[in-house]
Chains A and B, each alone.
Chain A
Amino acid sequence: MKISLKVNGRKYTRDASESKNLLHFIREDLGLTGTKEGCGAGECGACTIIMNGRTVNSCLILAVEADGAEIETIEGEAKNGKLSKLQQAFQKNHAVQCGFCTPGMIMSAKALLQKNAKPSVEEIKAAIEGNFCRCTGYQQIIEAVQDASGQLKKKGELKRA
């Protein structure tokens, strides 16, 4: 089925297999391999993208369901080789270890900051509830989001969540 969609501001028209999920379509048909597949069953959030302004697990959506959608993925973050503010905060605060959860994590954090410029620690935790990280123990990720929203105190004064 022929579908048209916008990904990171660029319009794509492709013939999509009906039995392909959106995650595989983005990775294989559009060649945007930043979005990762973890569990493939909506548990881990590695495949999180922003679709029409809301975070979704792209593994649980058919490509054909995304006809006409506006999608944001991790590839839309860096501009002209410069990391976005959020990406810089992740890098600076050691919020990335193996990196597999990071593209989805950043999409969830981005969606949070779009709605709430100064989220509390509890709000950050709730926002990334659907994104599993098996390396960092989440603390550095929470700090990165605090930093990106201008709320990170000096390390010495940090109240651990």
Chain B
Amino acid sequence: MLQEFSYQAPTTLKDLYSLLKKRAGKAVILAGGTDLMVEMHNNWIAPEMLVDIKKIRELGEIKFSRKEGLSIGATVVCTELIKDKNVQKYYPLLADAAHRIGSHQLRNRATIGGNLCTASPCADMGCSLLALGASVELGSADGVRIVALKDYFTGPKKTQIQKHEVLQRIIVPIDMANAEWGMRKLKRIKGHDLALISVAMARTAGVMRVGIGSCAPTPVVTVDLPASASLDKVKEATFKAVSPIDDVRASKEYRLFMTGEYVESVYAELTRGRSRK
């Protein structure tokens, strides 16, 4: 048995907002549960209330429009993102990144929104969404605000979300649709494992970005580089963005070395036009 808590499953955003406002700091949002249930199992946290948001229909939608781009609802799980036709067609980097998360059992349950809320430095969706210039929409009884993902992560497991707010969707801009892309994730074993480092690159006619995971206190991204930027410039911007540490999984030197290797190999892939589009 887990610690005692009360369970609420509101069916509308309005009910969710008022619940979060009333119980700010006491209520914890439950989406896929693949991180939260582990934290509770290990007695790292003991929330008074769990607010299950999976019964709020609009949070489960993936939408694509030529005006806004891609909208990923907070409760969309990895498997749904991977299978989505518009994601496969316009943002294949995201399908590839989601496929690299955990195992089948975890991808069938883990949400993209939850991955960003746990905000681990190695969040698999972090570097890919950063490379695509994504934003998150945070909602509460006070209104809705949109935060660029590059400003959203504030530290390991820390974000800009306030206690009475919910991450309700992720927005990937239309100008990044059909971007050339490439991704690498370094793991210790072939099977499901956390990233030692991960690198995701996206390039359109107007911009190139590299998103890097497990190489700083949060997933990070380079400044916007011109599409024509040379490999040296891309590497320079990458090393400026990262600040890795030694930990149980890898040393600082190894992380830096492999980040450089991956940037080189993905860059070459983009240049040869062999990027899977």
Could you list which residues of chain A lie within 8 angstroms of chain B, going by C-beta atoms? 1, 17-21, 24, 40-42, 45, 48, 54-57, 59-62, 64-65, 108, 111, 126-127, 129-131
Nearest B residue to A1, CB-CB: B7
Residues of A within 8 A of B14 (CB): none
Those of B5-33 within 8 Å (CB) of chain A: 5-7, 30, 33
26 CB contacts below 8 A, A to B, read A17-B1, A18-B6, A19-B2, A20-B2, A21-B2, A24-B1, A40-B41, A42-B34, A42-B105, A54-B104, A54-B108, A55-B104, A56-B109, A57-B109, A59-B41, A60-B33, A62-B30, A65-B33, A108-B104, A108-B105, A111-B104, A126-B104, A127-B104, A129-B104, A130-B105, A130-B192
A18 touches B191 (CB 8 A): no
Given that A61-B33, A129-B192 are contacting pairs, would A56 and B108 also be in contact in the complex, using a CB cutoff of 8 Å? Answer: yes
Q: Are A60 and B109 in contact (CB under 8 A)?
A: yes
4 nearest A-B pairs in the assembled complex, by CB-CB distance? A130-B103, A54-B108, A18-B7, A60-B37
> Residues 92-104 of chain B: 1 if any A CB is under 8 Å from the residue's CB, otherwise 0?
0000000000111
B137 sits at the interface (CB 8 A): no
A21 to B41, CA, bound (A): 10
Partner of B38, one of A41, A111, A130: A41
Question: Chain A contacts of B4 at CB under 8 A?
Answer: 19
Among A1, A41, A57, the residue within 8 A (CB) of B105 is A57
B237 shortest CB reach to chain A, Å: 34
Residue numbers in B under 8 Å from A19 (CB-CB) = 1-5
The reply to whether A42 and B37 contact each other, CB–CB distance below 8 Å, is: yes
Question: When chains A and B are docked, how far (Å) is the Cα of A17 from the Cα of B42?
Answer: 19
A119 CB to closest chain B CB (Å) equals 13
Alpha-carbon gap, A57 to B41, bound state (A): 13
* Residues in B lying within 8 Å of A, measured CB to CB: 1-7, 30, 33-34, 37-38, 41-42, 50, 52, 54, 79, 102-106, 108-109, 191-192
A59 to B102: give the CA distance in the assembly, Å: 15
Inter-chain CA distance A17–B41, complex, in Å, is 16
Provide the residues of chain A in CB contact with B1, threshold 8 Å: 17, 19-20, 24
Q: A54-B108, A62-B33, A130-B102 are in contact. Are A42 and B5 (CB under 8 A)?
A: no
Is the pair B37, A59 in contact by a Cβ cutoff of 8 Å?
A: yes
Given A21-B2, A55-B104, A130-B102, output 4 extra A-B contacts at Cβ < 8 Å: A18-B7, A40-B41, A42-B105, A130-B105
User: Which A-chain residue is minimally distant from B79 (CB atoms)?
Assistant: A54
Kindly list chain A residues whose C-beta atoms are within 8 Å of the C-beta of B30.
62, 65
| Chain B contacts for A60, CB-based, 8 A | 33-34, 37-38, 109
Residues of B within 8 A of A21 (CB): 2, 37
Find chain B residues with CB under 8 A from A45 CB. Answer: 103, 105
Whether A130 contacts B106 by the Cβ 8 Å rule is yes
Measured in the bound complex, the distance between the Cα atoms of B171 and A21 in whole Å is 33
Q: Which residues on the B side are within 8 Å of A24 (C-beta)?
A: 1
CB-CB nearest in chain B for A47: B105
- Verify B42–A41 contact, CB threshold 8 A: yes
Rounded to whole angstroms, the CA-CA distance of A108 and B43 in the bound complex is: 29
Count chain B CB atoms within 10 A of each CB in A19, A59, A111 and give the residue with the most: A19
Give the distance in Å from the alpha carbon of A19 to the alpha carbon of B201 in the complex. 42
Bound form: Cα–Cα A55–B102 in Å:
13
Nearest to A58 among chain B residues (CB) is: B105
| A57 x B106 contact (CB < 8 A) | yes
Report which of B7, B42, B106, B108 forms a contact with A62, defined as CB distance below 8 A.
B7
